[in-house]
Structure 1
Amino acid sequence: MGAVGVAASDFMEDRMKGLAEETVRDGFAVLPGAQVRPLLAQGELTEFARFWTDLPLDTTLHDGGRYRQRRYGRLRVEIRDDGTEFEVLPHTTFRQDGIPLWKGADRSFAPAGEDALLHPAMTALVGFDTGLAHTITGGRSWEVGIHQIRMIAHAGEEGLPTPEGRHRDGHCYIGMHLIRREGCVGGESTVHPDRGEAVRLTLTEQMDSLFVDDRLVTHEVSPTRAVGERAVRDMLLVDINPIGSDA
Structure 2
Amino acid sequence: MSEHTSPAPLADTIIQTMEGPLEQEGFAFLQAKAMRTVLESYGLLGWDAFAASWNDLGVDRYMADGGRYRRRRYATFSLTEGGITRKPHQPHYQSRDYNTLNGGIERWFKPVLPTIGDHPALMAILHLAFRVATDMTPAERRPNAWHTEIHQFRIEARPDTDGCPTPEGLHRDGVDWVFVVMVRRENVARGETSIHDLSHRQVGSFTLTDPLDTAVVNDNRVYHGVTPVQPVDPDRPAYRDVLVVTLRHE
1:238 counterpart (207, 222, 245) = 245
Normalised by the length of structure 1, the TM-score is 0.90
Shift of 1:42: 7.2
Preserved CA contact (<8 Å) 1:6 1:124: no
Q: State the one-letter code of the partner of 2:160.
A: G
Q: 1:217 matched to which residue of 2?
A: 222
TM-score (norm 2): 0.89
Q: SS of 1:3's equivalent?
A: coil
- Higher mean C-alpha deviation, range 146-155 or range 41-50: 41-50
Q: Paired residue for 2:177?
A: 173
Q: How far off its partner does 1:199 sit?
A: 1.3
**Partner in structure 1 of residue 164 of structure 2:** 160
The root-mean-square deviation of aligned C-alpha atoms, in Å, is 1.7
Residue correspondence of structure 1 range 95-174 to structure 2 within 5 A: 95-97=93-95, 98-137=98-137, 138=139, 139=142, 141-174=145-178
Structure 2, unmatched stretches of 5+, are none
- Of the three residues 209, 230, 233, the one matched with 1:204 is 209
Amino acid at match of 1:223: P
Supply the distance in 1 between the matched residues of 2:120 and 2:226 (Cα, whole angstroms): 28
Q: What is the one-letter code of the residue matched to 2:92?
A: F
Given that 2:45 and 2:120 are in contact with CA atoms closer than 8 Å, whether structure 1 keeps it comes out as: no
Q: Quick check: 1:3 aligned with 2:8?
A: no
SS of structure 2 residue aligned to 1:77: strand
CA distance in 1 between counterparts of 2:110 and 2:22 reads 32
Paired with 1:99 and 1:18, the residues of 2 have a C-alpha distance of: 32
Partner of 2:196: 192
SS of structure 2 residue aligned to 1:128: helix
State the identity %: 31
2:58 to 56, 59, 63: 56
Q: Secondary structure at the match of 2:11?
A: helix
Q: Structure 1: which 5+ residue stretches go unaligned?
A: none
Aligned to 1:93: 91
When structure 1 is superposed on structure 2, of 7-16 and 49-58 the one drifting more is: 7-16
Tell me by how many angstroms 1:43 deviates. Answer: 5.3
The alignment of Structure 1 onto Structure 2 pairs a total of residues equal to 238
Measure how far apart 1:49 and its partner are: 0.5
User: Contact (CA 8 Å) 2:163, 2:229: kept in 1 or not?
Assistant: yes
Tell me the equivalent position of 1:75: 77
Distance 2:94 2:206 in 1: 25
Assess if the C-alpha contact under 8 Å between 1:88 and 1:114 holds in 2: no
Q: Is the Cα contact below 8 Å between 1:77 and 1:86 reproduced in 2?
A: yes
CA pair 90-44 structure 1, distance change in 2 beyond 3 A: same
